[in-house]
Chain A
Amino acid sequence: MSHRRYQRSLYLLLAPFLLGVTLLVVLPAGLSLGLAFTRYDGLTAPTWIGLANFRALAADSLFRTASLNSLLFVLLTVPLRTLLTLGLALLLARPRRGIGLYRAAVYLPTVVPGVAYALVWLWIFNPLYGPLNLLLGGADLPTPAWLVNPQTALPALALAALFQLGEGFVVLLAGLQEIPDTYYEEAALDGAGRLAVLWHIVLPLLAPWLLLIVIRDLIVSVQSSFTPALLMTGGGPYYATLFLPLLIYQTAFERLRFGEGAAMTLLVFFGVGLLILLTHRLFGGWGYDEAV
């Protein structure tokens, strides 16, 4: 087979993937961009209304609440989950007896389907006979009403989200294995303590991986708030857990205001992009590109 023909058949193998990406990502993204400037109910043809959707959203108090809630949720879950993931990866990095079991246990909640996960936490948070409050009550600790109280509902959802950290955990374990043992040995010869080794050697070498999981976590946190909000709180109480994906779902699929939904979608897109840029800045642009 000639070189030319070989190359051409390679592109044929690539074709289904590229077609799928075009139909399922590129085209929908383009459509969102267009529809955001129209009024469209899915039945009659969309009509161009310029920036009216965005102006309406700017004045919409529900949209503001949902944006703030989503931001709060991300700011609560991403740093906490990253720290927890880092701690667990450092604890379980070195091969020892039983390490496989410990790692599997940490990964386990991550494979639990979202609907089942939400229902389990709905039960755990039940103020009267949920296991969490039984445990707290047994230890004479305060037993908050969790999802029923507007003050604690959002932090409770954030707490539930903390335990699904398997993906980042695996990435950090891989990153830790990349660090050559000689680095630790030399540091020990220089008389560096464990904290010094962590601060001056491990964390800088882990930085690209950390950035990778933080960015991944930002995106996942925005979208993964949908199922728990829909099943556990319905966005309540008093809109305390109304997140942007839930509002988009209600606007577009329940009230059939596709144009407004598309405008929100576009803003979510830019909002996430902005958060990624900020994170990248925060990390000082440490070799993320090299990690991928």
Chain B
Amino acid sequence: MRLSSAKRKAFKRNAQSGSLLRCRQIYRAVGFHLLALSVALSFVVPGLWVLAASLRRPGTPPPRTIEWLPDPIAWSNYTLVFELVPLGRYLLNSLLVTAIAIPLTVVVASWAAFAMAQLPARARYALLALAVALRMVPLPALWLTRFLVLSELRLIDTFAALLAPAWMGSSPFFVLIYYWSFRRIPPALIEAARLEGLGPLAIWARIALPLAKPATVAVCVLTFVQYWSDFISPLLYLKSESRYTLAVGLRMLQQLDTTNWPLLMAGVVIMVLPVVLLFVLVQRAFWVGERIAGVQGN
């Protein structure tokens, strides 16, 4: 009798701990989502403040508390900034630079990476080491003498000066992204193409590049962000205002009227929106590309 009652107790305890376990799981899930949500909000909410600030009518007294929606909403700020500073022209310049930089980067970076992936081990490791070393160079160490090289090539005050990094694949990181995805292509596939008499260029165009689509998407997006955001090259290497890009235009807007926050924030939104939209659109490909970059590192 005693035994069975002990058994019953044990059974009861088990059932209790089972529901306790479920309770704990739910608590944990709720705790996780609360924490993750508050983290995510702290990274995103300032963006909403900027949006609200960009819609406030210029000249009205600044708000005393945090403002989520100004009253009245001044959409006109977004046309006003284009009148104050030739932002339309700078926008076109930025688009032009990125439009040339992206294909150039894809070709140079993927060519170099394809050659790296196909070369014998010793050359491959030397080039990998070079790419990693390049990634380690602090850029300010190159500003001044790169200026001298560019002026020797008569490229100062041209778009070519802004595009110059595209000749090294824009970033050694992009070469590495392509390298890692080319190394995953089965060697037999390339061997077969070589037996059919195809050269490296044909194999790159018909086999390697089509198989590395996620890498291409990642490189295109990151290249766009790099040239769209570039502030230092136009600052250092351009002189004529007609060639300025959006990044420099935004600084001009700031120098024009340092305290006109609504207009400045409208300029900020104009510059940030394309990048954010692009990021949201291709987010999945972006993670895949970056994951290739990371995971294939071993």
* Residues of chain A having any CB pair with chain B under 8 Å: 1, 5-7, 9-14, 16-21, 23-25, 27-29, 31-32, 35, 42, 88, 91-92, 96, 98-109, 111-116, 119-120, 123-124, 126, 128-129, 131, 134-135, 138, 163, 170-171, 173-175, 177-178, 215-216, 219, 222-223, 226-227, 231, 244-245, 248-249, 252-253, 258, 261-262, 265-266, 268-269, 272, 276, 290-292
Please give, as numbers and ranges, the residues of chain B lying within 8 Å of A7 by CB-CB distance.
119
**A13 engages B115 (CB within 8 Å):** yes
- The smallest beta-carbon distance between B101 and chain A, in angstroms, is 13
Please give, as numbers and ranges, the residues of chain B lying within 8 Å of A272 by CB-CB distance.
138
* Residues of chain B having any CB pair with chain A under 8 Å: 32-33, 35-37, 39-41, 43-44, 46-47, 49-50, 53, 62-66, 107-109, 111-112, 114-116, 118-119, 127-128, 130, 132, 134-149, 153, 164-169, 175, 194, 197-201, 204, 225, 228-229, 231-232, 236, 247, 250-251, 254, 261, 264-265, 267-268, 271-272, 275-276, 279-280, 283-284, 287, 290-291, 293-295, 297-298
| A292 to chain B: closest residue by CB | B132
Known: A112-B275, A115-B251. A248 touches B143 (CB 8 A): yes
Known: A111-B275, A113-B275, A170-B294. A16 touches B112 (CB 8 A): yes
Q: Which of A27, A92, A112 lies in contact with B149, CB distance below 8 A?
A: A27
| B170 to chain A: closest residue by CB | A20
Q: Give the most central of A215, A216, A252: most B CB within 10 Å.
A: A252
- The DSSP consensus for interface residues of chain A is helix
Cα separation A272 to B135 with both chains bound (whole Å): 13
Cα separation A291 to B293 with both chains bound (whole Å): 12
| B268 to chain A: closest residue by CB | A116
A-B contact pairs, 18 of them (CB 8 A): A1-B198, A10-B115, A16-B108, A17-B108, A17-B112, A19-B167, A20-B169, A24-B142, A24-B167, A25-B168, A32-B141, A98-B36, A108-B43, A112-B275, A115-B247, A258-B148, A265-B143, A292-B132
Please give, as numbers and ranges, the residues of chain B lying within 8 Å of A222 by CB-CB distance.
138, 140
Please give, as numbers and ranges, the residues of chain B lying within 8 Å of A27 by CB-CB distance.
145, 149
Please give, as numbers and ranges, the residues of chain B lying within 8 Å of A223 by CB-CB distance.
138-140
